[in-house]
Structures are given as structure tokens and as C-alpha cells.
Amino acid sequence: MSALRNYPYFWMTATGAFAVAIMIATSRRHRKAILFSALAGLPPAMFSPAFEGRYWSPRRLLGGGLGIEDFLCGFMVAGMLWWAICLLPRFGRMEPDFSRFWSRYWLVALPAIAASNGAYFADADGLTLALIGPAVAAAILVFLAPSLWRFSAAGLAAFLALWWINLKLYFMAWPHFPGSWNQGVWFGRSVAGVPVGELLWAVAFGACWPAFMAWCMDAKPAPITSAARR
């Protein structure tokens, strides 16, 4: 019982990743797309030690600033968000092409990672570190594929609601978990029951990631037909 109580970050991400695995297994049409999105969420987890102390300091199974929890979290949020996008009628009929997925992925991811590292060595605060990667990726995508704004709008609304609900549920299960966030800064304080920084990050990630994945998959939403309008 002490392991269950003392490691909420692990249990949150483990149950979330398990839920995404179920989504992948049960979604025949979008199985590969959800899996690719979830896997694409793994590399950013390597940057997790930069957040230690500046943004939060969760307790990990093996201690330190990087653990299996961080990779499970990346898998969870990236898979969950694309699954939610696929539930929407216009996006559920997409025909993705994975032939250039990883080459496109690194074309956008590497500049975002470089910007995050630059902010870290410039001693930026935790919120800046959380937002700069999605902001740089979004700026690149505006240049490469401005038509993908529909994915951004859908993702922002979907993920903000999903992430708020997820955190509220986990905070109910582990009332001491919010203490992992840096409460000495304004973005560590609670609004609507969750830290401000998490809400702002959810907006940034929700607006960036679906457009990013859509570009990597060369996926486009289905056109609105007269039948769809009716």
C-alpha cells in the first residue's frame, strides 16, 4: 500500500499508458495512427530532468529527475490526444500516410528540442521550458502547413478538457500529489483544481501536437459536404 500511496506519478502514467494501449488495440481504423502518435511522444521525455525543481519535483520509482514515468507520460498524452482527434467526424475519416513520418517528425522536433535546451541553459523558468517547445513547433508548422489550423483548434479544446479531467481524477485519488508542483511560483498554484502551468501547457500541447502529427502523417480532415451540414 505504501508503494501505491508514495508514487502517484508512476501510477498515473502507468494507468494512462495502459488506457492508451487499450485505445490502440480496440481502434481498428486508427490503430496505427494512435500508435505512431504515442511513440512520437517518447523522445521529448528525455528533457524531463530540466523541469526538476523549476516546474515540479515528482517522486519517481528509482528517484532522480528522469524515470520510466516520464516516458509513460509522453506515450500517454500523445496517444490520448490523437485518439480524441480521431473521434471527431471530420478527422475520423482521414487516410494517413506514414511513409515520411519520422523524417518529418525530426524536421520539426529537433528545432523545438534545441529551443528548449537553449531556454534551459538561459535559466528560464519552468513554465517557459514547458511552453517553448510547442511554441517553436507551432511556428514551424504555420510556415510549412498553415491549413492544419483545424487540427490545432480541435486539439486545444479536446486536450484541455481531457487533461483537466485526468488531473482532477488523479488528485482525488492522491490528494498529496499537487504538492509535487513548484508552489513557490505563480504557475504552480491551483486554478479549477489543477496547477495553472498544467492548464497553460495543455493549451499549448493541444494546439501544437495534432497539427504536428497530421503533418507527419500527411493527414487532412475530410471536407464538409452538404450532407454533413444537414
**Position 49 pLDDT exceeds 60:** yes
Please provide the average confidence, as pLDDT, over all residues in the chain.
Answer: 93
Q: Give me the mean pLDDT over the 104-125 stretch.
A: 96
Global pTM reads 0.93
Q: Which residue matches cell numbers 519535483?
A: 57
Question: What is the chain written as a DSSP string?
Answer: -HHHHH-HHHHHHHHHHHHHHHHHHH-TTTHHHHHHHHHHTSGGGGGGGGGBTTTB----TT-SS--HHHHHHHHHHHHHHHHHHHHSHHHHT-----TTHHHHHHHHHHHHHHHHHHHHHTT--HHHHHHHHHHHHHHHHHHH-GGGHHHHHHHHHHHHHHHHHHHHHHHHH-TTGGGGB-TTSGGGSEETTEEHHHHHHHHHHHHHHHHHHHHHHT--PPP--HHHH-
Q: Give me the mean pLDDT over the 173-185 stretch.
A: 95
pLDDT at site 56: 97
Model confidence band, residue 67 (pLDDT cutoffs 50, 70, 90): very high
Q: In the 3-class helix/strand/coil scheme, how is 76-106 assigned residue by residue? A: HHHHHHHHHHHHCHHHHCCCCCCCCHHHHHH
Percentage of the chain lying above the pLDDT 70 cut: 96
pLDDT at site 223: 67
Taking the C-alpha atoms of residue 96 and residue 44, their distance in angstroms, rounded to an integer, is: 23
Q: Give me the mean pLDDT over the 71-84 stretch.
A: 97
**Position 135 pLDDT exceeds 60:** yes
Q: Give me the mean pLDDT over the 173-188 stretch.
A: 95
Q: Give me the mean pLDDT over the 205-211 stretch.
A: 97
- Of 193, 197, 167, 201, nearest to 182 by C-alpha is 197
pLDDT at site 227: 42
Q: Give me the mean pLDDT over the 25-39 stretch.
A: 96
